C-alpha cells in the first residue's frame, strides 16, 4: 500500500519546490499528472520493500548465480545453484536442489568468504527454519541500532536499496548526501517523468540523474548517480528499478549498479529478477568485485 495520509506542511513545501525542478514529457503534461502528489507517493512508497518482505511468506524457486572477480575481470570464485523455498505452518525452509562452486566462495564451515555473498544470502537464501514472519511494512522503520560489523553494513546497503533517497544513519562521510529529495541536494540532479510501456504495462518512468555540468566540489557530494523507476500507471506499484551509486570516502569506496524487475503472483507483487554488479573496498578488508543474478519463479503459498 502507498501511504496517502495528509502531507505535512514541510513535505508540501518541499514537493512544490521539487515540482519546479521536474521535466515532464508532453504525454505526462496532457495527462494532467499532479506532480507534487506523485513526488509524495514516491517518497512514501512501500510497494518495493513489501515485495521483498513477501518473499518471507511465499514458496518459490530461485536460480542463484554469484561470481567474484579479480582486478582483471577474471572469475576467482563462483556459486551457481537452484534452491526451493518451502512454506508451511508459518515457517519457511530452503532446499538446495543443485549447487556448484569454484574457488574460495565458502570457508570450511560453508559460510561465505565474501560480503557480496552474504548480502545475496540475506536477500534470497534461508538458513534453517525461520518462523513467525509477515510482509507487513506499514510503520516499520529500518534501523541499524542493534547491528554491528557486517550485519550493520548489510542493513545499511538494504536501506539504500529499499529506500533510495532517504538519509541512512551510521555511514561515515555520506551524511545527508543521499537525501536527494531535500531541495538543497536535489539541485545537483535532473528529474524527469515520462510514460512508456514496460513488460506490457503502461508505466510512468521517473528518472533521477546527476547533472552533467557539476563542478568537482559538487560532484564530491554525489552518492546516487542515477535511479530509474517504472511505476504502474494505474496502481503506482514499482515494477522495475535500476540504480547506479558510487562514492569514495578514502577509508572506503563503492561503485554499484543494480537492476530489479518485478512480477505478480496472484495479488502479491514480488521480485522476478535482480542483477547486481559492484565493487566495494573498506579499510583493513580486501576489495571485492562481484556480479550476481537472482531469478525467481514458481511462486506458491
For 237, other C-beta atoms within 10 Å of its C-beta total: 20
Q: Which of 161, 190, 159, 164 is nearest to 177 (CA)?
A: 164
3-class SS of residue 282: strand
Straight-line distance from the first to the last Cα atom of the chain, in angstroms, rounded to the nearest whole number: 20
Could you tell me the pLDDT band of residue 5, with boundaries at 50, 70 and 90? very low
Report the sign of the C-alpha dihedral through residues 119, 121, 123, 127, in that order. negative
- pLDDT value at 172 more than 70: no
In this prediction the pTM is 0.88
Could you tell me the pLDDT band of residue 54, with boundaries at 50, 70 and 90? very high
- pLDDT at site 3: 44
Looking at the chain, the whole-number percentage of residues with pLDDT higher than 90 is 59
Could you tell me the pLDDT band of residue 2, with boundaries at 50, 70 and 90? very low
- As a whole number of angstroms, the distance between CA 298 and CA 60 comes to 5
- As a whole number of angstroms, the distance between CA 180 and CA 125 comes to 31
- pLDDT value at 218 more than 60: yes
* pLDDT tens, residue by residue, 96-142: 999 999 999 999 999 999 989 998 998 999 999 999 999 988 766 66
3-class SS of residue 291: strand
Beta-strand (E) ranges in 70-184?
75-88, 91-102, 130-131
Q: Who has greater pLDDT, 34 or 9?
A: 34
- As a whole number of angstroms, the distance between CA 217 and CA 52 comes to 37
Q: Who has greater pLDDT, 15 or 141?
A: 15
* pLDDT tens, residue by residue, 196-216: 999 999 999 999 999 999 988
Strand partners, 289: 69, 279
Could you tell me the pLDDT band of residue 280, with boundaries at 50, 70 and 90? confident
* pLDDT tens, residue by residue, 65-98: 999 999 999 999 999 999 999 999 999 999 999 9
Q: Who has greater pLDDT, 63 or 17?
A: 63
- As a whole number of angstroms, the distance between CA 68 and CA 66 comes to 7
On the CB side of 138, CA atoms within 13 Å amount to: 5
- The answer to whether 282 touches 66, Cβ cutoff 8 Å, is no
- The answer to whether 140 touches 104, Cβ cutoff 8 Å, is no
* pLDDT tens, residue by residue, 257-266: 999 999 999 9
Q: What is the rounded average pLDDT for all residues in the chain?
A: 88
Could you tell me the pLDDT band of residue 4, with boundaries at 50, 70 and 90? very low
Amino acid at each position: 500500500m502507498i501511504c496517502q495520509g495528509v502531507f505535512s506542511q514541510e513535505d508540501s513545501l518541499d514537493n512544490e519546490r521539487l515540482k519546479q525542478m521536474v521535466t515532464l514529457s508532453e504525454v505526462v503534461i496532457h495527462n494532467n499528472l499532479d506532480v507534487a502528489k506523485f513526488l509524495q507517493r514516491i517518497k512514501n512508497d512501500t510497494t518495493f520493500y513489501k515485495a521483498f518482505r513477501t518473499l518471507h511468506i511465499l514458496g518459490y524457486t530461485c536460480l542463484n548465480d554469484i561470481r567474484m572477480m579479480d582486478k582483471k575481470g577474471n572469475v576467482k570464485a563462483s556459486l551457481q545453484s537452484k534452491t526451493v523455498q518451502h512454506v508451511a505452518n508459518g515457517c519457511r525452509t530452503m532446499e538446495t536442489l543443485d549447487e556448484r562452486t569454484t574457488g574460495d566462495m565458502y570457508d570450511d564451515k560453508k559460510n561465505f568468504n565474501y560480503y557480496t555473498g552474504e548480502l545475496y544470502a540475506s536477500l534470497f537464501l534461508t538458513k534453517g527454519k525461520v518462523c513467525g514472519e509477515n510482509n507487513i511494512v506499514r510503520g516499520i522503520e529500518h534501523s541499524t541500532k542493534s547491528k554491528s560489523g557486517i550485519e550493520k553494513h548489510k542493513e545499511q546497503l538494504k536501506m539504500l536499496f529499499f529506500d533510495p533517497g532517504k538519509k541512512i544513519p551510521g555511514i561515515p562521510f555520506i551524511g545527508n548526501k543521499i537525501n536527494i529529495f531535500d531541495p538543497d541536494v536535489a539541485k545537483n540532479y535532473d528529474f524527469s517523468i515520462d510514460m512508456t510501456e514496460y513488460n506490457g504495462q503502461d508505466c510512468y518512468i521517473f528518472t533521477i540523474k546527476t547533472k552533467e555540468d557539476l563542478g568537482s566540489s559538487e560532484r564530491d557530494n554525489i552518492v546516487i548517480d542515477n535511479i530509474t523507476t517504472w511505476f504502474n500507471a494505474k496502481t503506482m506499484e514499482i515494477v522495475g528499478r535500476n540504480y547506479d551509486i558510487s562514492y569514495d570516502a578514502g577509508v572506503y569506496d563503492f561503485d554499484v549498479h543494480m537492476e530489479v524487475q518485478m512480477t505478480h503472483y496472484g495479488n502479491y507483487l514480488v521480485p522476478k529478477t535482480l542483477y547486481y554488479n559492484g565493487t566495494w573496498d573498506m579499510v583493513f578488508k580486501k576489495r571485492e568485485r562481484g556480479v550476481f543474478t537472482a531469478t525467481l519463479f514458481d511462486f506458491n503459498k
